[in-house]
């Protein structure tokens, strides 16, 4: 969810909460004020009728549908004003309505009168309707404010942030250029931009140092490794005894292993740093068939049965060289970690590449084999980086890669969608 949308939702929630709480207190205040004013009005009306009686007006002639006058015993004390709700007939509306009745007694001359006067009450439903209507109007104004003002202002305020985010997304080690972010009038954004610029400079410096180191190591090791290989091959051609031959063969294998490790680590570093060119649409079926043909003799020598089910044209966006490495590593893994008279099944569709092979049950979690230098087989040619490279390739191109084992079946699958 975008930051602006998140702020808008939070603002709406807070607004609704504030309106609900405010509406409740407005309702209680309105109800209290209306009842207070009605009480004061009833008190004034009752006092006015008492004054008219003092002036000589006969009580029976003052009585109406809203006024009641009863004569009490003179010995009783005067009553203060009392208010209560009652149901009384309202002539203009020609029906019974809830009304507020105010009663008070007066001793006038030698008479004691209780005067009661009725007035219509503003019902709770009417107050609620008024409050709800008012709050809805306020909410509508708030929504218009959010739509035209708040989001517009927020977009303006957050514009430097989105510009910074866009430049970070375009940052690339291959360009070898540190971030150069614009200044804004917001101090926090400037502090963030300063930190990001310093961080990008440090990252590029570290990247260049590590890249130079890895390239130097790769280059410097290849030369002595080639010299050692040549010397060992020359020794193999001389007359030597069995023990010497075994020592020379072991040294030769370890030298080749060093060469494969350096080459694989260099490839992993390039994949992680995205140093390869932009991906292009390639026919993965053709690349897979080409690798199967190259490994056909090895499959035959390993006494393995191969079954294929390939879609004739599976197009994916990849660098061709990377696709070659991915296919070679997966097929080599299926051959090396197989068993005598075993089998390999390869299935390729536009959505999935699946390579199943027979093999002994794994002694460790299959997911651990995706880590560097983790391997199950003691095969001397295996350096424990094949599946790590495939896993990194899938991360780079946003494919989904999984390696599972059930009983004596190993499965490597890559999802392209």
CB 87 within 8 A of CB 96: yes
CA distances from 154 to 8, 14, 39, 181, 182 (A): 9, 17, 50, 20, 18
Q: Bigger pLDDT: 355 or 238?
A: 355
pLDDT at 326 over 80: yes
Position 214 confidence tier, pLDDT thresholds 50, 70, 90: low
- Six-digit token pair at 404? 């599972």
Position 383 confidence tier, pLDDT thresholds 50, 70, 90: very low
Give the DSSP per-residue string, 117-161: EEEE---HHHHHHHHHHHHHHHHHHHHHHIIIIIHHHHHHHHHHH
Domain boundaries, the chain: 3-126, 187-272, 280-415
pLDDT in tens, 152-170: 777 777 788 888 888 888 8
Chain-centroid distance, C-alpha 85: 57
Strand 409-415 relative to strand 352-358, pairing:
antiparallel
Terminal alpha carbon distance of the chain: 23
Provide the residue count of the chain: 417
pLDDT in tens, 86-127: 665 555 555 556 677 788 888 888 888 888 887 766 555 666
From 390, 378, 385, select the one nearest 263 (Cα to Cα).
Answer: 385
Average pLDDT in the 283-290 region? 89
Average pLDDT in the 287-301 region? 87
The number of beta carbons lying within 10 Å of the beta carbon of residue 382 is 17
**Fold topology of 187-272:** Helix Hairpins (1.10.287)
pLDDT in the model for residue 12: 77
CA 271/CA 267 separation, integer angstroms: 6
CB 402 within 8 A of CB 413: yes
**Fold topology of 280-415:** Heat Shock Protein 90 (3.30.565)
Instruction: HSE, CB side, 13 Å, CA atoms: give it for residue 37.
Output: 9
pLDDT in the model for residue 124: 58
């Amino acid at each position: 969810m975008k930051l602006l949308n998140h702020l808008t939702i939070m603002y709406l929630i807070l607004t609704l909460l504030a309106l609900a709480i405010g509406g409740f207190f407005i309702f209680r205040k309105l109800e209290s004020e209306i009842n207070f004013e009605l009480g004061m009005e009833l008190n004034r009306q009752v006092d006015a009728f008492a004054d008219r009686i003092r002036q000589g007006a006969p009580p029976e002639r003052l009585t109406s549908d809203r006024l009641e006058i009863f004569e009490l015993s003179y010995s009783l004390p005067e009553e203060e004003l009392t208010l209560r709700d009652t149901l009384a007939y309202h002539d203009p509306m020609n029906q019974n309505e809830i009304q507020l009745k105010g009663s008070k007694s007066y001793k006038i001359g030698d008479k004691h009168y209780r005067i009661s006067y009725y007035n219509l009450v503003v019902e709770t439903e009417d107050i609620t309707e008024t409050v709800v209507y008012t709050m809805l109007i306020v909410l509508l104004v708030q929504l218009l404010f959010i739509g035209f003002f708040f989001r517009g202002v927020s977009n303006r305020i957050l514009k430097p942030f989105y510009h910074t985010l866009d430049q970070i997304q375009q940052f690339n080690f291959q360009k070898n250029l540190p971030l150069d972010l614009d200044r804004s009038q917001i101090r926090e954004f400037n502090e963030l931009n300063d930190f990001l610029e310093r961080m990008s400079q440090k990252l590029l410096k570290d990247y260049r140092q590590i890249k130079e180191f890895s390239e130097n190591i790769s280059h410097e090791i290849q030369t002595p490794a080639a010299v050692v290989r040549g010397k060992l091959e020359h020794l193999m051609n001389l007359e030597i005894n069995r023990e010497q031959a075994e020592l020379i063969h072991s040294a030769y294998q370890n030298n080749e292993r060093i060469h494969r490790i350096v080459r694989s680590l260099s490839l992993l570093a390039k994949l992680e740093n995205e140093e390869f060119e932009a991906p292009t649409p390639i026919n993965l079926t053709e690349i897979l068939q080409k690798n199967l043909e190259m490994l056909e003799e090895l499959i035959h020598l390993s006494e393995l049965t191969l079954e294929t089910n390939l879609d004739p044209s599976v197009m994916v966006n990849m660098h061709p060289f990377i696709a070659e490495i991915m296919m070679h590593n997966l097929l080599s893994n299926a051959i090396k970690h197989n068993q005598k008279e075993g089998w390999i099944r390869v299935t390729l569709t536009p959505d999935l590449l699946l390579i199943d092979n027979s093999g002994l049950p794994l002694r460790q979690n299959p997911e651990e084999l995706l880590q560097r230098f983790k391997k199950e087989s003691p095969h001397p040619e295996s350096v424990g980086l094949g599946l790590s490279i495939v896993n990194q390739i899938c991360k780079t191109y946003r494919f989904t890669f999984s390696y599972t084992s059930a009983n004596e079946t190993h499965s490597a699958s890559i999802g392209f969608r």
